[in-house]
Structures are given as C-alpha cells and as structure tokens.
Amino acid sequence: MNQSFEIAHMCESILSKIATDFVGLALQNREGPDVRWHYAAGNSNDKYKKITVRYGKGIAGKVISTGSPITVNNFPDNIYGKALEYPIMLAEKLLYAYAVPIFYKGAPKGVLLVGRRTNKPINEGEQNIVRQAALSLEGMISGLF
Amino acid sequence: MERQPDKNEISSYIIQSQEEEIKRIALELHEGVGQTLYSLYTGMQFIGNAVEQDEMKGYVSDMAELLEKTIQEIRLLAVELHPPTLTTLGLLPAMKSYLKLYTSTYGIEVELETSGKEVPLEERQRITLFRVCQEALANIARYADTVKAEMTFTWQFDHLSIIIKDKGRGFDKDKGWHQSTGLAAMRERMHLIGGEWHLSTKIGEGTVVELYLPFI
C-alpha cells in the first residue's frame, strides 16, 4: 500500500470513527513556509485543493506556527480575527473544528483537522482518537518531505 | 455664515483619510520595518558564517530562518494592505494579481473578461473600485457557497463598467441589506466617486454586483 493511499485511508477512517463531517490533512510545503491541504474526506467540494495558507495564518498555518491544537466553536462567532482568515471553515461550511499538529523531525510540519457542519464539539475520547491518528500520520508523511 | 461640510463630504474625507493611513502603514512596513529586518537577516547570516561551534551555528541559522519568514510576512502584509501595482500599473493589473491571491486563499476560481482599452483613472477612483471589488469577492467567499465566479471589465470611451457574478446560493436582498453594512458601504463608496452600484440576487440562483463609473 503506498503512502498516499494510506493517508487517504486514514482520513476516511477518522471520518467514520468519530462521526465527523470533514477530515483534512494540511502540510507545509517542502520549499517555503506556505501550507497546503493535501488530503480530505467528507469534503463538499474541491476548494481545499486550491487553498494555500501562509505560515501563521488560517487554522492550519496557526497550528503549524504554534505547534499546538486549535479548537473553533460556533464559527464565525467569537473567533480571533476575521471569518475570511479561516478559508477551510468557509470552503467546507464548518461550524466546529479541532486541529492538531503533525510533527516531522521534531518540528510541526502538518495539521490534521476534523470539522463538523453543526456546532457539536467532539468529546475528549474523540479528541484522543484524532491525536493518536496525528501520531500515526507522523510516520506516513516522511515520504512527502 | 460659513458653510458646514455635508454628509457626503465627511464620508469622503473619512474614507480617504483611512486609505491614506493604510497606504502609509503599508509603505512603512515595506520600506521601513522590512528593510531593517533584512539588514538584521544579512547580519545574522554573516554571524552564522563566522561562528565555529556547531550548536551555535544551528541556533543562528534557526534565527535567520525565522527572520526570513518574518520579512516575507511583512512584505505580504504590506501588499495586502495596499497593493503597489494599484499605484504603479493601474486597476486591472492590480485586480489580476489580487484574483490569483483570492483563488489560492479561498479555492474559488474567478474568470476575468475584459473589453475595451483601459483608461487611466484617478488614484481615488482606482482605490475605491479595487476595494468595492474586494468586498464583493469577499462576500462570495463567505456566503455564496460556490467554486466559481465571473468578473467582467468593460472600458468604454465615457465609462467603465464592472460586473461581478456568481451562481451560488444567493440571498434575500432586504434581509441582507439589514444584516450587513458591507453592502451599504460598497454603494456609498461608489457614490462618493460619482459612480453607481447595483445588486441583484435570487435565492438558489446567485448574485450579480454591477459597478458603473462615468468619465466626466
């Protein structure tokens, strides 16, 4: 099984395991600091393929720059900054998102995001599943750098 | 008795002051802060080459990389605030450049069509048209739920017309008018440069924004 297929399979598997609407995997470009969405499951369109966020911008850029998880509840209420700074939430019409970093050689290089189109947060157990999946993905993304 | 400025003159003054301030900040970021950081970056590279300890070399290299990212951020922020092409090359080249950024930010393709020969506009007109187009496109990204949009520039000898169209969700015009100040602000901005702004929308069919600027 090649890496690409394994990663796509992992995204699909998270989608079914925790009954979420969207799962996406973003990675920092090999060259330069920009971040792109590479894989998605449950996506309602292909916008994610064209979206590039800058390091430190958008959910993916912020997770990579801080190396910490980010939760967005009831988007776009109570967000930091403007709704337009959250392109993946707009593109997929998400109201809730939980995004965790994926590390490569000790540095945050990727993001695993799960989202819902309703404002129903995932519970602690489900967050744990996402964190575990991010750990598993750490080994899989090595070939992409 | 001295004549008091009317509401339009005050709005125009506020918008113009805001734009001048944005331009000043953009220039200061690009020419001031950006240049200083670049000097620091080259200095850091110089130190990196001179240092012999591996650990320290790695540390200096990380700092230089961080500075490089910050410089890029500052440059992009300056361009976002006030695109320099708007002043140097004009409205159409600035819009073409913005559309590339728009597609890579929101994943929405915008098909741009132009006809006629571009007429040089006053800076106030260029900025206003650019900002109104930005607002219309931002509304598409936020509300239209579509992957495509169309933009048409028609240059005539006596006017410029710009049409921004999407086949997205559409909305209830009356409701939208009451919920968003963005629509009223677009219309107001166009009035202040002697232009017109029209909106037509139908739920499930999409939205059309039309801008009209006569050359007096």
Domain architecture of chain A: domains with CATH = 3-144 (3.30.450.40)
Looking at the domain assignment, is residue B186 inside a domain? Answer: yes
Q: Which chain B residue has its CA at the smallest distance from A33's CA?
A: B69
Q: How far is CA B200 from CA B112, B171, B185, B189, in A?
A: 20, 9, 16, 18
Mean pLDDT score, B111-132: 94
Looking at the domain assignment, is residue B1 inside a domain? Answer: no
**ipTM of the complex as predicted:** 0.90
A91:B106 CB<8 A: yes
**Contact A93/B at CB under 8 A:** yes
Give the pLDDT of residue B98: 95
Question: What whole-number distance in Å separates Cα of residue A58 and Cα of residue A114?
Answer: 15
Domain final position from B49, B82, B115: B82
Looking at the domain assignment, is residue B161 inside a domain? Answer: yes
Maximum separation of any 2 CA atoms in chain A, in Å: 43
Residue type, B82: H
Residue B1 pLDDT level (bands cut at 50, 70, 90) = low
- For the segment B183-203, what is each residue's pLDDT rounded down to a tens digit? 999 999 999 999 999 999 999
Give the pLDDT of residue B12: 80
Whether residues B71 and B96 share a domain: the answer is no
CA distance A53 to chain B (A): 6
B141:A87 CB<8 A: yes
Among B7, B22, B31, B27, which Cα is nearest to B128's?
A: B22
Nearest-5° Cα angle at B18, B17 to B20: 65
Among B2, B22, B9, which Cα is nearest to B87's?
A: B22
Q: Which of chain B's residues have a Cβ under 8 Å away from the Cβ of A55? A: 69, 73
Whether the CB-CB separation of B205 and B121 falls below 8 Å is answered with: no
Q: What share of chain A is helix, strand, coil (3-state, %, to 5)?
A: 40, 25, 35
Domain final position from B65, B82, B99: B82
Whether residues B119 and B185 share a domain: the answer is yes
Number of domains in chain B: 2
B105:A55 CB<8 A: no
Structure token digits, residue B90: 């004009």
**Contact B202/A at CB under 8 A:** no
Whether residues B28 and B95 share a domain: the answer is no
Q: Residue B211 forms beta bridges with which residues?
A: B162, B197
CA distance B35 to chain A (A): 20
Whether the CB-CB separation of B211 and B132 falls below 8 Å is answered with: yes
- Domain extent for B36: 7-82
Give the pLDDT of residue A1: 54
CA distance A110 to chain B (A): 17
CB half-sphere exposure, B42, CA atoms < 13 A: 5
Looking at the domain assignment, is residue B132 inside a domain? Answer: yes
Whether residues B146 and B54 share a domain: the answer is no
Whether residues B46 and B75 share a domain: the answer is yes
- For the segment A25-82, what is each residue's pLDDT rounded down to a tens digit? 999 988 878 899 999 999 999 999 999 998 888 999 999 999 999 999 999 998 988 9
Q: How many helices (H) and strands (E) does chain A have?
A: 5, 6
Burial of B109 (0-12, 13-18, 19+ CB in 10 A): middle
Whether residues B139 and B207 share a domain: the answer is yes
Q: Which of chain A's residues have a Cβ under 8 Å away from the Cβ of B103? A: 50
- H helix or E strand, kind and range, residue A8: helix A3-17
